[in-house]
Structure 1
Amino acid sequence: MKKAVMLVMAIVLTFTLAACGNNANNSGGNASTPPASNNSGGATTEPSTEPSEEPKLEGSLLATGSSALQPLVDQASKMFMEKNSGVTIQVQGGGSGTGLTQVSEGQADIGNSDVFAEEKLDADKAAELVDHQVAVVAMAAVVHPDVKVDNFTKQQLVDIFTGKITNWKDLGGDDQAIVIVNRPASSGTRATFEKYALGQKSEDLQGSIQEDSSGTVKKIVGETPGAIGYLALSYLDDSIKTVSYEGVAATEENVVNGTYPVWAYGHMYTKGEPNEVAKAFLDYMLSPEVQEGPIVELGYIPASKMQITRDVDGNVTKK
């Protein structure tokens, strides 16, 4: 009897211990058991892996100046605005001098120029500007398609633009008066042409035509018998005739290797460091999308392709 009672007590104790063990496991007493998922947003909720959106770029820019650089900046600005719907960019001409003056005086965010700021502004004002070189702009003498001249020497161009030669017959052409289509004094294209093609300043001759817009210059030269002017390579087409300089054609290859001298950097100046929107746009100008796109398509040359460099004094150094 005593043995039977002890056996019953052992069996009861065994079941009691087993039940306690099960209760401990179900109550989370086991530290290795992960907590149940929490859908109520408590501390145990896993952090989101969704990437945060970048702040939207917003603002407006005004870029003014060089008409030679205008087609490039205009095209690039449209591409930039397509990518940044919160940004508005206005691009205006007026000449390099105008662009430099307006950015210096705070009237524009970017001053487009074919020349270094030091060539147009006082030293103290030029020192306030930051230079962003985005391309190379080459220029060529152009004439009406019927003019029978294929090459100019430096001296012949000097004689034309200073009024010493006034008829094409003196250069082997027809007996026809020369009609000069020049640029105003504020023009960077004129400054570049005078510096690197003529080697001197030209005069505003009586009877000559002055026009700042490169598009209008092309139209006038193409439609006026006997006309001569000069344009950036980005404006050249069959409506006008491009003339070689000292026996060298105005081609990208000849500009890049330093054989053809009539070219300038395409500068986009800001007063001090650019603001957020201007910096984003200027960075975009140097991106492969622009350097390998509009710059090439519109007849400009990426500055990175140049085999030479040139300083404000015109000194050339091979890279």
Structure 2
Amino acid sequence: MKPKNETAILILSLLITVGILGGGYWWFSRQSGIDLSKLIPGKGNPSPTPNETVSSPEKLPAPTSPTASTTFSAPATVPRGTTVRIDGSTSMVQINQALRNSFELRFPGTNVDATADGSDNGIQDLLAGNVDLAAVSRPLTSQEQAQGLVAIPIAKDAIAIVVGINNPFRRGLKKNQVVEIFQGKLTDWSAVGGKPGTIRVINRPRVSGTRQAFQELFLEGENFGSAPNITEMQRDATTPILRALGRDGISYATYAQIADQQTVRTVSVDGLDPEAANYPYYRTLYYVYKNPANAAVKAFLGYATSPLGQEVISTAQ
């Protein structure tokens, strides 16, 4: 048996410990304002009273970039007879063609049917069920996402300012000059250091994703001008725009489509050409599908986003 004095000391020590813990509990509750009893299972009032409200987490927007739920595996095989229908951005014509050729070669008996009527038209065709994929050169709007559309980023692309090869203007432009030209505020080449003469602005139609991207990147969301020297093309096609430049026209295009052209040249902006590593006027190109994706879409997107598909896209650009 333990001596009585030893037992008494033990009891006294326990009482002191309890007192210290109790005092700490009281002090922490007073200082923090937290009712610690609510953190103990079975204590406090874990459910809201009639006068309490419980906030719910905010809903996240529909994904517009690859996530665990919006990525597809590269297919090992694709059934013969599989057809993938694509419509959309003219900026993605070369990408569509390169992927089509590679996909059909790798998976015999498949068919990729690609047309280019502009990003907005591609999206409308997708919503109507006329195509499987829309090639889009701008992000989806919240309204489009709400209709079940999902955008998968495919590539990055620079937007270049272009003039005809025989245009006597041989200088670069500052960004504010680009803005004022496309808003109709600067209308003569002499105002930007060139020879006197009207600046003919060749603009793309409203359905163009490239136009919308240019509006965001260069005009920062402001509107294009409607001055007499500004012509809006009826169809979103790069070749007619380049042909229309002549000696006094100016426009914009996806750099991949004009880099090797012999009839036009790019104009630097703030001293930077589209090939510069720090050129800021880039946008993302997407393939858009309507959720849930069908088997053809899964196969094509799985291939397009695979290392092999990305290499094909890089070559096309």
What is the TM-score of this pair, normalised by structure 1? Answer: 0.69
Among residues 281, 286, 289, which one is paired with 1:270 in the alignment?
289
Partner in structure 2 of residue 124 of structure 1 = 146
1:230 maps to a residue whose letter is Y
For 2:78 and 2:137, the matched residues in 1 are separated by: 34
1:217 maps to a residue whose letter is I
What SS does structure 2 have at the residue aligned with 1:69?
Answer: helix
Answer yes or no: is 1:179 the counterpart of 2:200: yes
Assess, with a 3 A threshold, how the Cα gap between structure 1 residues 219 and 298 changes in structure 2: closer, same or farther: farther
Question: Could you report, residue by residue, the CA deviation over 1:97-150 in whole angstroms, capped at 9, with x for unpaired residues?
Answer: 11122212222110111111117x55522xx01211111121110012223243
Assess, with a 3 A threshold, how the Cα gap between structure 1 residues 204 and 123 changes in structure 2: closer, same or farther: farther
Partner in structure 2 of residue 298 of structure 1 = 316
For residue 204 of structure 1, report the CA deviation from its aligned partner: 4.1
1:116 maps to a residue whose letter is P
Question: Could you report, residue by residue, the CA deviation over 1:166-186 in whole angstroms, capped at 9, with x for unpaired residues?
Answer: 111111111121111100111
Assess, with a 3 A threshold, how the Cα gap between structure 1 residues 107 and 69 changes in structure 2: closer, same or farther: same
For residue 188 of structure 1, report the CA deviation from its aligned partner: 0.6
2:182 maps to a residue whose letter is F
Answer yes or no: is 1:168 the counterpart of 2:192: no
Answer yes or no: is 1:246 the counterpart of 2:270: yes
Matches within 5 A, 1:128-167: 128-145=148-165, 146-167=167-188
2:183 maps to a residue whose letter is T
Answer yes or no: is 1:208 the counterpart of 2:249: no
Percentage of pairs with the same residue: 25
**Could you say what the CA RMSD is over the residues aligned between the two structures, in angstroms?**
2.0
Answer yes or no: is 1:234 the counterpart of 2:281: no
Aligned partners of 2:98 and 2:316 also within 8 Å: no
Name which of structure 1's ranges 148-157 and 226-235 shifts more when overlaid on structure 2: 148-157
Aligned residues: 236
Assess, with a 3 A threshold, how the Cα gap between structure 1 residues 57 and 276 changes in structure 2: closer, same or farther: farther
List structure 1 segments (4+ residues) > 4 angstroms apart after TM superposition: none
What is the TM-score of this pair, normalised by structure 2? Answer: 0.69
Assess, with a 3 A threshold, how the Cα gap between structure 1 residues 291 and 54 changes in structure 2: closer, same or farther: closer
Aligned partners of 2:78 and 2:299 also within 8 Å: no
For residue 249 of structure 1, report the CA deviation from its aligned partner: 1.4
For residue 207 of structure 1, report the CA deviation from its aligned partner: 4.5
For 1:298 and 1:220, the matched residues in 2 are separated by: 25
Matches within 5 A, 1:1-319: 56-118=79-141, 121-122=143-144, 124-125=146-147, 128-145=148-165, 146-199=167-220, 200-211=222-233, 212-221=236-245, 224-236=246-258, 237-251=261-275, 253-254=276-277, 259-293=278-312, 295-299=313-317
2:250 maps to a residue whose letter is I
For residue 225 of structure 1, report the CA deviation from its aligned partner: 1.4
Aligned partners of 1:161 and 1:202 also within 8 Å: yes
Aligned partners of 1:218 and 1:235 also within 8 Å: no
1:165 maps to a residue whose letter is L
Assess, with a 3 A threshold, how the Cα gap between structure 1 residues 285 and 175 changes in structure 2: closer, same or farther: same
For residue 54 of structure 1, report the CA deviation from its aligned partner: 6.1
1:160 maps to a residue whose letter is I
What SS does structure 2 have at the residue aligned with 1:198?
Answer: coil
For residue 267 of structure 1, report the CA deviation from its aligned partner: 0.5
What SS does structure 2 have at the residue aligned with 1:133?
Answer: strand
